[in-house]
């Protein structure tokens, strides 16, 4: 993918790249707001409206529904519109929705339907924002700094996942639900300001597509969505990576479905130690984010991807846990598993971004997100079912086996013979495909 970057883009360190910093801060604050929302809205539902477990589950289900409904068409729309403008509108919409909730609380008008609508709208906007951002960030750094940029974003995402829910719970506890929701809305406004003031459309202007294109018909939208899926399917390496990421999410969410039950009921781990174990897992992801770019340079980007896949058997570690050693065995598992997942994600993101034609980035990213998200939803259902039918321990072993066998998808692909992504032969149809879909 060609990049014509000016001198400000070619700073020796990303910290001096104005466009990267604006996008990084905007994304970090936006992601933190989303993580706070994930816990703040259910807490408000329980504490203020005395919601039942079914109602709280509905809030989560609506977020997942938003993902499944909008992910695929979002890719086509993002490829036709200014990606920065899409992100700005998504931030503004999320801020307005979050502002409306505390206002309704102050006026004593808040009800569950408002929370349902808020969860759905924020879920839709977050998915579209993510698809747009995946494509936008490719144009703001040189190709040889993509791995480092992805590592910085991964670190920020790990910190947000780790701190967001706790910040949400703390805000509700300390300053009350109204102020917590207001602070959450502020996070989206901060993201909006950074993207509006310091980011720009220069990367998209280089592609000749910063301005919105003509309205699209439903038939054309379906055709463009299909083009993104076809591009992935026809590419010998990208299709394998996508399949393995889907297998990984299936395994991960099947494990998550039974992990808490396994820890509390089978291993008798107390809630404080459960929090400790999950905190250690986030530390593993944080360390991986800090080191991944350096590992990719020294070991080779393609080899790093394969190495992360080969390390899949770390998923068997929880099977070895007993009530006597549970905390330390599970902490080791969380540390190793999180580091492996983050390293793999950084490497596969870098490959996807470096080989995909610019005009297909949105559709490619959206198609992969949809496949992976669907696999995660299926994994949650399968894991929960197996946990009841068999046992949580046996379910974890099955999930680990699926993940380990899935590594064969990459080990028997062209990746096995390459050191770096640049060593992979260019897909013969990619250039023709991108031209026909422009």
Q: Output the pTM of the full model.
A: 0.72
In this chain, the answer to whether the domains covering 7-216 and 227-437 adopt an identical fold is: yes
pLDDT truncated to tens, each residue of the chain (438 aa)? 444 444 445 556 777 777 788 888 877 887 777 777 666 777 778 778 887 767 776 777 777 777 778 888 888 778 777 888 888 999 999 999 989 988 888 888 888 899 889 888 988 888 888 888 887 877 777 777 777 887 777 777 766 766 666 666 666 667 676 777 787 788 889 888 888 877 666 555 555 554 555 556 667 677 777 777 888 888 889 999 999 999 998 998 888 778 878 888 888 888 677 777 877 877 888 888 888 888 888 988 899 999 999 999 999 999 999 998 988 999 899 899 888 988 998 888 888 888 878 778 888 888 888 888 888 878 878 888 888 888 889 999 999 999 999 999 998 888 888 888 888 865 444 444 444 444
Asked whether 312 and 407 are in contact (CB, 8 A), the reply is yes
**Two structure tokens written together for 213:** 């294109």
**Two structure tokens written together for 354:** 């470096």
Please, what's the largest Cα pairwise distance for the chain?
64
- Residue 7 has a pLDDT of 46
Rounded to the nearest 10 degrees, what angle do helices 361-389 and 53-80 cross at?
Answer: 160
- Residue 435 has a pLDDT of 42
| Cα–Cα distance, 132 to 150 (Å, whole number) | 15
Asked whether 338 and 281 are in contact (CB, 8 A), the reply is yes
| Cα–Cα distance, 365 to 337 (Å, whole number) | 24
Superfamily of domain 227-437: MFS general substrate transporter like domains (1.20.1250.20)
Query: Cα angle at 71 between 70 and 75, to 5 degrees?
Result: 110
CB count within 10 Å of CB 200 equals 16
The class level of CATH for 7-216 reads mainly alpha
% helix, strand, coil for the chain, step of 5: 85, 0, 15
- Residue 212 has a pLDDT of 53
| Cα–Cα distance, 438 to 434 (Å, whole number) | 6
* Domain boundary assignment for the chain: 7-216, 227-437
- Residue 259 has a pLDDT of 83
């Amino acid at each position: 993918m060609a990049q014509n970057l000016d001198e400000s883009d070619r700073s020796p360190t990303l910290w001096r790249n104005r466009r990267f910093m604006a996008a990084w801060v905007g994304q970090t604050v936006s992601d933190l707001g989303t993580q706070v929302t994930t816990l703040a809205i259910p807490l408000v539902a329980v504490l203020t409206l005395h919601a039942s477990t079914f109602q709280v589950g509905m809030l989560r289900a609506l977020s997942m529904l938003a993902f499944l409904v909008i992910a695929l068409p979002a890719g086509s729309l993002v490829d036709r519109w200014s990606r920065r403008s899409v992100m700005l509108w998504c931030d503004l919409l999320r801020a307005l929705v979050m502002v409306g909730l505390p206002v309704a609380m102050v006026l004593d008008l808040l009800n569950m339907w408002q929370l349902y609508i808020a969860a759905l709208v924020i879920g839709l906007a977050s998915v579209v924002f993510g698809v747009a951002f995946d494509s936008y960030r490719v144009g703001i750094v040189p190709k040889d700094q993509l791995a480092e940029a992805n590592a910085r974003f991964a670190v920020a995402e790990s910190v947000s996942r780790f701190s967001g829910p706790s910040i949400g719970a703390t805000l509700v506890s300390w300053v009350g639900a109204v102020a917590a929701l207001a602070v959450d809305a502020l996070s989206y406004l901060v993201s909006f300001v950074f993207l509006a003031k310091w980011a720009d459309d220069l990367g998209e202007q280089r592609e000749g597509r910063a301005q919105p294109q003509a309205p699209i018909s439903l038939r054309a939208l379906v055709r463009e969505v299909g083009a993104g899926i076809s591009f992935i399917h026809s590419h010998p390496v990208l299709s394998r990576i996508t399949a393995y990421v889907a297998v990984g999410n299936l395994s991960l969410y099947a494990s998550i479905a039974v992990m808490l039950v396994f820890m509390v009921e089978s291993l008798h781990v107390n809630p404080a130690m459960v929090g400790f174990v999950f905190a250690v897992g986030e530390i593993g992801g944080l360390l991986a984010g800090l080191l991944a770019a350096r590992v990719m340079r020294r070991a080779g980007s393609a080899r790093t991807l394969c190495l992360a896949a080969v390390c899949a058997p770390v998923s068997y570690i929880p099977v070895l846990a007993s009530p006597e050693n549970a905390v330390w065995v599970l902490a080791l598992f969380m540390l190793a598993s999180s580091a492996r997942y983050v390293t793999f994600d950084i490497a596969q993101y870098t490959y996807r971004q470096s080989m995909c034609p610019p005009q297909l980035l949105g559709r490619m990213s959206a198609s992969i997100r949809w496949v992976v998200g669907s696999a995660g939803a299926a994994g949650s259902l399968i894991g929960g079912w197996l946990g009841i039918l068999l046992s949580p321990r046996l379910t974890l072993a099955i999930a680990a086996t699926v993940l380990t066998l899935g590594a064969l998808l990459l080990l028997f692909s062209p990746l096995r013979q390459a050191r770096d992504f640049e060593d992979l032969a260019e897909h013969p149809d990619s250039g023709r495909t991108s031209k026909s879909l422009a």
